[in-house]
Amino acid sequence: MAVKIGLVGTGTVGGGCIDIIQKHQEAFKRHFGIDIELAQVCSREIAQAEAHGVADIFTTDFNDIINNPDIDIVVELIGGTTAARDVVLGALAAGKNVVTANKALMATYGKEVMGAAEAAGKELAFEASVGGGIPIIDPLKHSLIANEIQTVMGIVNGTTNYMLTRMADNGLSYDDALREAQEKGFAEANPSADVDGFDAAAKIAILSSIAFNSRVTLDDVFTDGITNISPVDIEAARDMGYVIKLLAIAHRKEDGIDVRVHPTMIPETHQLATVNGVFNAIYVVGDFVGETMFFGEGAGAGAAASAVMGDVLEVARHIQQGVAPIVGCTCTDELPILPMDDLVMRYYLRFSVTDRPGVLETMAGVFARHNISVKSIVQRGRSGAERVDQVVVTHRCRERDIREALEEALSLDGVVLAEPSVIRVEE
C-alpha cells in the first residue's frame, strides 16, 4: 500500500515537491520499490493547488491533514516558528512522521521538536533546512559518523554570496547588488535575514548541533552581516590575496565550540573562495576523512524540493520496510559555546574618517591604547571632499580589544563618520 503524504504549504518549495511527485512517482516505485501518494495539500489559497492540478485534495486547515488517519508523513513547508511549530508538534503528537525545510524552527526549537519526535517514536527529517539541494545533514548523520568533526564552515546564504560576487566581479555597489538579488527572487521576504546574517546563523546552528553532538541554537551564534561591506573592501582584500565571503563558521576546540557568522577574508586559494553567485558550499573536516566539501544550489524551488523529497522517500522506505526511526536527536554532549570576546584573529577594519591632519595619528593612538598590534594603516582614496577611507590591518589580537577600540574610535568627536567595516581573517 502506498505511503500517504500530506503537504502543508504549496508555495515555491511545496510546488516543487508536487512537480517531483507527479514527474517521478512511477520511477520511485520501479527503481526503489518506494510507493508514495500525495493524499492531501494545505494552503491559504486554492490557486496554487489549482495551478499544480491538485485542487481535488486541497484544504485550508492543516488540522485536516494532521487528523487524517490515512496520512503517514506530514511535510511542513510554511516556514516561521508559529503555525509551523503547531503543524510539526501536532503531526508528531498525532503519530505522523514529519519532514520539514524549516531552518528557523530547527535552529530555535530543535530540542523541543526532536524531543517530540523521539517521544512519538516517529521520524523528523530536515535536510532542506540547510543548503537547499545540497546533501549535508544526511552525510553528517550517516556517511561521516566514523569521524569526530572538527570544522564545519560554509557559504550557506545564496543571496549574500550573489551580492558579494557581483560587487567583486562587476563593481556593483551594495545597494545595486541587493536590488538585483531581490529582483531575481533570491532574497528572503525580509532581506535582513540574508544581509544581517540570521539566515546563515540558523543554518550553522543546525549544522554544528549535528556535527558536534551538542545543541547549538540561533542565540548562541555571534552574527554580523554584510551591510557595511563596500567595493573598497573587496578591492583591498584582492590586493592582499584574499576574497570576502559571508562565512558561517563552527570549530570544535579543546574547551568548547567556536560558532559565528560574519564577513570573512579567506585566501583566494581556499576551496570556498571560488564558490560564486547564488551557490552554496559547506566545507567539513573530520579527524579521519580529512577535508570534504559539499557544493550546490542553496535555494530555489527545484533544489529545496529535491532535498525535501529525498527525506520523504527515505522515511517512506522505512515505513514500507518496517524500519524503526534510526537517528533521532544526536545532541548527547553539552559543550560550552566559547565567548566571542576571547577569540584571537587578524582583523581588517575600514573607517570612513574626516580628511584632516592628525586623524591618522589619532586612530593609531586608539589601537595602541587597546594593545592592538597594527600591521598597516593605509589611506585608500577620498570618498568625498572631506572624508577618506582608512584601512587598518592588524596582527592577531583579541576580539574584546577590537570591540573596545571600535567603541572608542566611534566616540571620538568628528573623526569616524560612518559605521566601520569589520572583516575577520580566517587563515
Report the residue number, 182 or 330, with the smaller CB distance to ligand HSE.
182
* Catalytic site residue from 29, 203, 253, 375: 203
Indicate the residue among 159 and 217 with the shorter CB distance to ligand HSE. 159
Q: Between 226 and 409, name the residue whose CB sits nearer to ligand HSE.
A: 226
Among candidate residues 270, 298, 297, 296, the one with its CA nearest the CA of residue 285: 270
CB 153 within 8 A of CB 249: yes
Among 76, 123, 199, 297, indicate the residue that binds ligand HSE (CB under 6 A).
199
Count of residues interacting with ligand HSE (CB under 6 A) = 11
Q: Which long-range contacts (CB under 8 A, 24 or more apart) does 339-342 make?
A: 340/222, 340/260, 340/399, 341/398, 341/399, 341/400, 341/403, 342/398, 342/399, 342/400
Measured distance CA(24)–CA(30) in Å, rounded: 10
Q: How far is the CB of 129 from ligand HSE (least distance, A)?
A: 8
Which CB sits closer to ligand HSE, 172 or 393? 172
- Which amino acid type is present at position 360? L
Q: How far is the CB of 191 from ligand HSE (least distance, A)?
A: 8
Q: Out of 10, 40, 97, 157, name the contact with ligand HSE by CB under 6 A.
A: 157
Q: Which x/- pattern over 173-192 shows residues binding ligand HSE (rule: CB under 6 A)?
A: -------------xxx----
Q: Which run of H or of E encompasses 64? A: helix 62-66
Per the structure block, which three cell numbers stand in for 8? 502543508
User: Phi and psi dihedrals of 316, rounded to 5?
Assistant: -60, -40
Task: For the CB of residue 241, give the shortest distance to ligand HSE in the complex, in Å.
Answer: 27
Closest Cα to residue 267, out of 285, 247, 242? 242
Nearest distance from residue 164's CB to ligand HSE, in Å? 12
Contact 370, 363 (CB under 8 A): no
Spatial separation of the C-alpha atoms in residues 179 and 185, rounded to whole Å: 10
Within residues 324-383, the interface with ligand HSE by CB under 6 A covers none
Q: Is 253 a catalytic residue?
A: no
Site for ligand HSE, residues 268 to 307, rule: CB under 6 A: 298-299
> Which x/- pattern over 95-134 shows residues binding ligand HSE (rule: CB under 6 A)?
-------------------------------------x--
* Binding residues for ligand HSE (CB under 6 A): 132, 157-159, 186-188, 194, 199, 298-299
The set of catalytic residues is 203
